Amino acid sequence: MLYYCITSNIAIVLGVNECARKRLCTTLKNMENDRYDIVIVGGGVSGTALLYALSHYTDIQRIALIEKYHLFGQVNSHAKNNSQTLHMGDIETNYSAEKARQVRGAAGMVKRYTETLPPEERDTILRRVQKMVLAVGQGEVETLEKRHDALKEIFPELQKLDAHGIAEAEPEVMRGRDPHELVLGLCSSQGYAVDFGLLARSFARRAQEAAGNTVNLLLGHTVEQIERRDGVYILNTDKGPVRADIVVVNADAHSLGFAKSLGYGKEFSLIPIAGSFYFTPQKLRGKVYRVQDPRMPFAAVHGDPDLTAPGLTRWGPTARFYPALEAGKLSTMRQFFSASGMHRIATWASFGSILLDPLRFWYLLRNFFYDLPVIGTYFLLPQLRKIVPTLRGRDVRRARGYGGMRLQRVDTRTRELLLGEGKIIGDKIIFNMSPSPGASVCLYNAMRDAEAISGFFPDEDYHFDKARMARDLCEEKIETIEDPSLYDTYAS
């Protein structure tokens, strides 16, 4: 502080203007301490979107992003670990109309961002695909009819298709189907498949281009512990300590462990559900989702084209209990046990109450059989045949190396499953846990966090040009600054 006052006064004496004075003081302060104004932990699509927002629309001088892997977007944001869907709310049948309206605007920011990129970069990140939600049977058809009435104003491009229309849009969905079976589709040509891992890399690259050496990308650094001393956060990494005034932990499920170590969010736990995927030869032209059972926390298996595997249709995700924080990484089991608070009786009681619910228990048991070698695909087949009736067991194979972790948050006080995003705002620190549709609304969440950060700065020390960010990236006027992934959500 003393340092700030001295440099500030020298600057005033030298006749430097207010803005330049602030910059000079901050730079000198940072040079002195090798300390950052803000450190973001996690280089997935959430962390890099925030980096992009801060570097382009704020006057923060020193930002670092710490990522444990050597590339951005290697965990849940990786194209192999999620369904690559830009969730807009039209085919996600458990979004309310109001939520669909918000998500459409928020997800539109990703599309708008890609439009600012050179075509060769844009085309690797985002591809336009047809998308459809399919209702099978009287009950589902009625639900979808009502939904179409509620959504047609928000999504005028959404077409209602009868059996004939479905056969034209997606021939394999109707081929071999019982002609007496009642079906209805809501279809749009304006769906998007997104490689969120490449999107993360693009955000990081653009952030560094915009802000030069005021942005420091610390790849291959694992944050082992965060502590706070004399008002400064010290992030102890395997390569040495990094200091920061403000920290945003965007490490998805890993965020909860860090929060707990600093005394936040002790009441929460995590139920670890791995989502696996399967391949068949290409059967679908676009994405085909199903009407969601509102009682289920997990989306029904859907079929998607895959940006990483042209000529195939990817099916999934299934849901399997897997006690770790990263799919296929048993080395993250220890972090899972500490983040989820498995030493607490309240955690076990919550797990029991949630997982022994007959509907969920049966669902998870069924999903357990899908992963059995050889015969597993035969258990899965009836689910896939609801979309493509002619699929055979030999068409289906496990997509090895594909799959992500859906860590469902639990409030151990109420023993309730919390499906939305987890956000804990502490003293100059934010912890984000970002399940679906977190990747789709990453820029919107970044905008909201950039705004929340202003509350951490004294006086006028921080300027976030939200209006310019909205002008650049929002296709429509976004009124609310609430996070559309914070509430009831769609686990895809």
Binding residues for ligand FAD, rule: CB under 6 A, are: 41-47, 66-69, 74-77, 82-85, 87, 196, 222-223, 250-252, 254, 275, 317, 404-406, 434-440, 492
Tell me the one-letter amino acid at 233: Y
Judged by CB, which is closer to ligand FAD: 268, or 462? 268
Least distance in angstroms from the C-beta of 24 to ligand FAD: 31
- Supply the DSSP symbol for 67: E
Upper half-sphere CA count for residue 382 (Cβ side, 13 Å): 5
* Nearest CA among 366, 375, 433 for reference residue 405: 433
Which tokens in the block code for residue 291?
Answer: 């009407």
Least distance in angstroms from the C-beta of 231 to ligand FAD: 22
For 263: left if phi > 0, alpha if psi spans -120 to 50, otherwise beta; the answer is left
Judged by CB, which is closer to ligand FAD: 137, or 420? 420
Judged by CB, which is closer to ligand FAD: 43, or 341? 43
346: part of which helix (H) or strand (E)? helix 345-355
Judged by CB, which is closer to ligand FAD: 105, or 275? 275
Judged by CB, which is closer to ligand FAD: 347, or 408? 408
Judged by CB, which is closer to ligand FAD: 64, or 469? 64
**Do residues 24 and 11 touch, judged by C-beta distance below 8 A?**
yes
* Nearest CA among 197, 155, 263, 154 for reference residue 439: 197
| 223 burial type by CB count under 10 A (0-12 exposed, 13-18 middle, 19+ buried) | buried
Least distance in angstroms from the C-beta of 9 to ligand FAD: 39
**Strand residues in 148-231 grouped as ranges (E):** 159-161, 183-194, 215-219, 223-229
Which residue lies nearest ligand FAD, judged by its C-beta? Answer: 44
Least distance in angstroms from the C-beta of 27 to ligand FAD: 26
The three-class DSSP label of residue 320 is strand
Least distance in angstroms from the C-beta of 390 to ligand FAD: 26
Judged by CB, which is closer to ligand FAD: 41, or 259? 41
Cα separation, 447 vs 109, in Å, equals 10
Least distance in angstroms from the C-beta of 337 to ligand FAD: 15
User: Across-strand partners of 278?
Assistant: 315, 398
Judged by CB, which is closer to ligand FAD: 297, or 317? 317
Least distance in angstroms from the C-beta of 5 to ligand FAD: 35
The sign of the torsion formed by the CA atoms of 91, 95, 100, 106 equals: negative
Which tokens in the block code for residue 264?
Answer: 């936040």
Q: Residue with structure tokens 């085309």?
A: 123
Least distance in angstroms from the C-beta of 101 to ligand FAD: 17
Judged by CB, which is closer to ligand FAD: 66, or 141? 66
Least distance in angstroms from the C-beta of 460 to ligand FAD: 31
Judged by CB, which is closer to ligand FAD: 252, or 462? 252
Tell me the one-letter amino acid at 282: Q
Least distance in angstroms from the C-beta of 81 to ligand FAD: 6
My answer on whether omega of the bond before 437 falls inside 30° of 0, hence cis, is yes
**Do residues 297 and 360 touch, judged by C-beta distance below 8 A?**
yes
Cα separation, 441 vs 84, in Å, equals 13
